[in-house]
Amino acid sequence: MSKIRVIIDTDPGIDDALALILALASPELSVEAITTVAGNVTVAQAVRNASLLLEVIDPHSRPPVAKGATRPMTRPLRTAEGYHGEDGLGELSRFKTEAGVLRYPEPQQRLASQSAPTLMTELISGAPGEMVVICIGPLTNLAMAIQAAPTEMAKVKEIVIMGGAIQAPGNVTPGAEFNLYTDPEAARLVFTSGLPITLVPLDVTQRVMLRAELIEAVVRHIGSRVTQFVRDVTERLFGIEQERAGCAAIPLHDPLAVGVVIDPSLVVRRPLHVDVETGAGSAQGMTIADRRQIREEWKQPPNLQVCMEVDAGRFMALFLERICRPLT
Ligand code: RIB
Ligand code: CA
């Protein structure tokens, strides 16, 4: 069976790092590019973190890393180092080898010559109907690519977006999810583009929770470079969640967006019309889905396929199986 060709647009970020590991460890996928965007961290830090992850995973074929938007389309950037750590990866400089050197030294950064939107557009137009874009950060790069090259971007096979909150509360404000809150103008441009979009909202990502004790057990039994990295990159955040919520567990937001591409049967999709609030008030970045039980002709036509159900057990099994795979 031929591989699914994917571009991953990311703001690494702890769960982004777990999503990239899942994608690079999954034989169903061919990761053709990693495009970085400002969000959890600055885009310079996102490039550094993607490069560090590639040095840790050291995949057979290393995808190009492209630098993208330094800030949202119209708003100032508000990053999330409080949650993801000063380095965006759980403050990895705390970890040293037995020899006392950094377990995760500064990576070599080999940047693609193209910007993230340009590389995305070139790959999509060069393989009509083949490329899947998995967006696990703010949608600024994707919006810029659609704005600059709508005809080329229309050749995309599918866009899978981790973002939004349909019935679930928000995570960055009571009503909004972080990726869409950070750049609501970009999200609205993407949602009204007419492109084939699958949305993976908090409604399903908050049901796939990774627990600290599971990772500790995995590392004890399968102590690979990858499982050690998964433990190290999540250790600080498990501590924060233990303090904040009384449970050392974190939602696998971004890995589920990758999981949906690997195995679409993991989720149940529902066609919905979804808009994004672009005001500056407390509703900024909220997703408003038309779920009214009225005749279709009385509603705006659906613009997204929204994942509203997930087989959480099957996804967690897939995630664990993949991070435990021996590095080829
Ligand atoms: O709301 C969750 C999303 O925001 C994830 O992509 C996480 O990495 C942050 O970017
Ligand atoms: Ca992210």
CATH number where 37 lies: 3.90.245.10
C-alpha 313 – ligand 2 centre gap (Å) = 22
Could you tell me how far CA 15 lies from the centroid of its own chain?
Answer: 7
Residue 69 dihedral angles phi and psi, to the nearest 5°: -65, 135
Say what the pLDDT of residue 70 is.
98
Q: If DSSP codes are grouped into helix, strand and coil, which group holds residue 38?
A: coil
Q: Which tokens is 127 given? A: 């393989």
Q: Which of 274, 269, 253, 270 is nearest to 319 (CA)?
A: 253
Q: Which of 115-129, 213-227, 291-305, 310-324 has the lowest mean pLDDT?
A: 213-227
Ion ligand 2 neighbours, Cβ < 5 Å: 11, 13, 16, 136-137, 254
**254, 258, 276, 286: residue to mutate for ligand 1 pocket, most atoms within 8 A of CB:** 254
Protein residues with CB under 6 Å of any ligand 1 atom: 11, 13, 15-16, 39-40, 136-137, 162, 171, 177-179, 253-254
Mean pLDDT of 273-281: 95
Residue 161 reports pLDDT greater than 70: yes
Residue 312: inside a domain: yes
Residue 55: inside a domain: yes
Residue 228 reports pLDDT greater than 90: yes
Q: Can you give the C-alpha Rg of the chain in angstroms?
A: 19
Residue 72: inside a domain: yes
Say what the pLDDT of residue 58 is.
86
Band of the pLDDT at 328, cuts 50, 70, 90?
A: low
60 is catalytic: no
pLDDT in tens, 3-26: 999 999 999 999 999 999 999 999
How many Å apart are CA 127 and CA 130, to the nearest integer? Answer: 6
Are 20 and 50 a contacting pair, CB within 8 Å? yes
Q: Which atom of ligand 1 is nearest to the CA of 136?
A: 6
Residue 91: inside a domain: yes
Residue 259: inside a domain: yes
Band of the pLDDT at 190, cuts 50, 70, 90?
A: very high
Mean pLDDT of 65-83: 97
- Choose between 280 and 77: higher pLDDT: 77
Are 110 and 66 a contacting pair, CB within 8 Å? no
Residue 294: inside a domain: no
Residue 327 reports pLDDT greater than 90: no
Band of the pLDDT at 231, cuts 50, 70, 90?
A: very high
Say what the pLDDT of residue 287 is.
98
Residue 97: inside a domain: yes
Domain with 168 in it: 4-288+302-324
What ranges in 3-137 are assigned the alpha helix state H? 14-24, 43-57, 81-84, 116-126
Catalytic residue among 60, 84, 221, 253: 253
Say what the pLDDT of residue 86 is.
97
N- to C-terminal Cα separation, the chain: 19
Model confidence, pTM: 0.98
Total of domains in the chain? 1
**20, 21, 40: residue to mutate for ligand 1 pocket, most atoms within 8 A of CB:** 40
Residue 293: inside a domain: no
Beta strands in 81-196 (DSSP E): 131-135, 158-162
